[in-house]
Amino acid sequence: MKRSLARQFTKILGRENFSLDPCDLRTYSYDASGLSFMPEAVALPTDLEQVVRVMKLANSAGIPVYPRGAGTGTTGGALAEIPGLVLCLSRMNRILSVNTANLTVEAEPGAITGSIQAHVEKSGLLYPPDPASLGFCTIGGNVATGAGGARAVKYGVTRDYVMSLQIVLPGGKVVETGTRTAKGVVGYNLARLMVGSEGTLGVITRVLLRLVPAPKAVGTLLAFFPGPSEACKGLVSLFTRGVLPRCVELLDRLSLECVKDSLPVSMPRGTRAMLLAEVDGSLPAVREETQEMASVFQAAGASGLHVAESPEQAARFWKARRSLSPAIRRLGYPDKVSEDICVPRDALPEMMRRLEDAGRRFDITILSFGHAGDGNLHVNLLTDLGQPELKRHCHEAVDWIMEQTLSLGGTVSGEHGTGITKRPYLSMELGADAIGLMKGIKGVFDPRGILNPGKL
């Protein structure tokens, strides 16, 4: 970056909020995708005014800007693929207000999702979206990626809770989008358009979210199955029997291998899949539905069932599930290529069958787990990309898996977004007309193309 430009950014942000230090640049060159691109500079604004002035200057200088939250994204969405300025919102992290009459919470974009949840729980309220990364991802990042989570089965995802957003456009214009009311149909829904826009349209600087009353009781059930197809059939039966769980998580045999030591109960011999399911509501309803879930799972072939007897035990079940992503490394494969496919729920048994087929067909180890209640699977291909033959097998397997997903009416990303890593599959899913419209929208928001260029 030219010295004169760096001096102007420093003037806007102060020395403590702007860095050219190679150590800082290295830190902000990563996210959870495993990719790395060195930015030219890092800005850490502390208020709206600084964001506005940074965006104005960057736009007039034509320098690329990469909005960033906590960098937990798994697709490289926050990375400076073309050298430019990382604009990290983590210092704008205040929870501004909770309104118990309107059931809303308002926060700055850098607020950690789990902190917002803990904060509103004190008022007997629930912010339902719960990405597994909630202890360290930001609400701005959640909105920008349209993050999901386990409880989406009953409650939906981030987009279902965004009421209004304040955004800063590349030229520095501040726009209020959406409404502060429960209803509102005036004009195009720009707040909704921002959800999942992955930092390509505007910088989110304030978020107003809808809340719901916290449920009185939660029932948590662990069920072990002889195979993933029995587990998937069990979960599909729940819905056909009229039970609406708040979440159903699936772990396949290899996933269980990774977390078996953190599971607080023992697994029956021959277990090859596990479901972790929850219902919530009033205490009598929860008791009844937990029983019903257990009998549905038993009928589908479950070989072991455990109902959590206390919130602490339920938390231990969840701890095992949440420890999975990092635990996969323990299997000792040098590389993990993670996909985030989603199919209609009733296509899940067939998708699991095709994934097993993919493992055999391309001679590659595949580990699948995820928010199966939504048909959303995190498919991990474990390999050594340093070996050309294995790399080729892996790429062929991913292409095949994406084709199978789309042929079952699915999508190539259920919640992680496109970023860099899913870009090759975008045109497999979207037609030329839809892509043309999207490019038109991008041009209206960001005519000079400085925001997260090349992404999506």
Residues near ligand FAD, by CB under 6 A: 31-32, 66-74, 77-78, 89, 109, 131-133, 137-138, 140-142, 144-145, 147-149, 198-199, 203-204, 325, 415-416, 452
Q: What is the DSSP pairing of strand 85-88 with strand 65-68?
A: parallel
SS3 312: helix
- Give the span between the Cα atoms of 452 and 450, in whole angstroms: 6
> Between 416 and 422, whose beta carbon lies closer to ligand FAD?
416
Query: Cβ of residue 309: shortest distance to ligand FAD, in angstroms?
Result: 26
Contact by Cβ (8 Å): 261, 282: no
**Measured distance CA(167)–CA(189) in Å, rounded:** 13
Selection from 130, 88, 135 nearest residue 115 by Cα: 135
Nearest residue (CB) to ligand FAD, 77 versus 281: 77
CA distances from 253 to 226, 267, 269, 446 (A): 9, 11, 12, 46
Least gap, CB of 375 to ligand FAD (angstroms) = 14
CB 205, min distance to ligand FAD, A: 7
Instruction: Report, in Å, the least distance between residue 131 CB and ligand FAD.
Output: 3
Q: Which two tokens stand for residue 128?
A: 């339902």
Q: State in angstroms the smallest separation of the CB of 4 from ligand FAD.
A: 27
Between 92 and 98, whose beta carbon lies closer to ligand FAD? 92
Q: How far apart are CA 124 and CA 212, in angstroms?
A: 9
314 phi and psi angles, rounded to 5 deg: -60, -40
Shortest Cβ distance from residue 44 to ligand FAD (Å)?
A: 12
Nearer of residues 90 and 290 to ligand FAD, judged by Cβ: 90
| Angstrom distance (rounded) from CA 63 to CA 219 | 51
Cβ-based nearer residue to ligand FAD, 359 or 424: 424
140 or 227: whose CB is closer to ligand FAD?
A: 140
278: β partners: 220, 247
Q: Tell me how far, at minimum, the Cβ of 268 lies from ligand FAD, in Å.
A: 28
**Cα end-to-end span (Å), the chain:** 25
**Between residues 148 and 375, which has the closer beta carbon with respect to ligand FAD?**
148
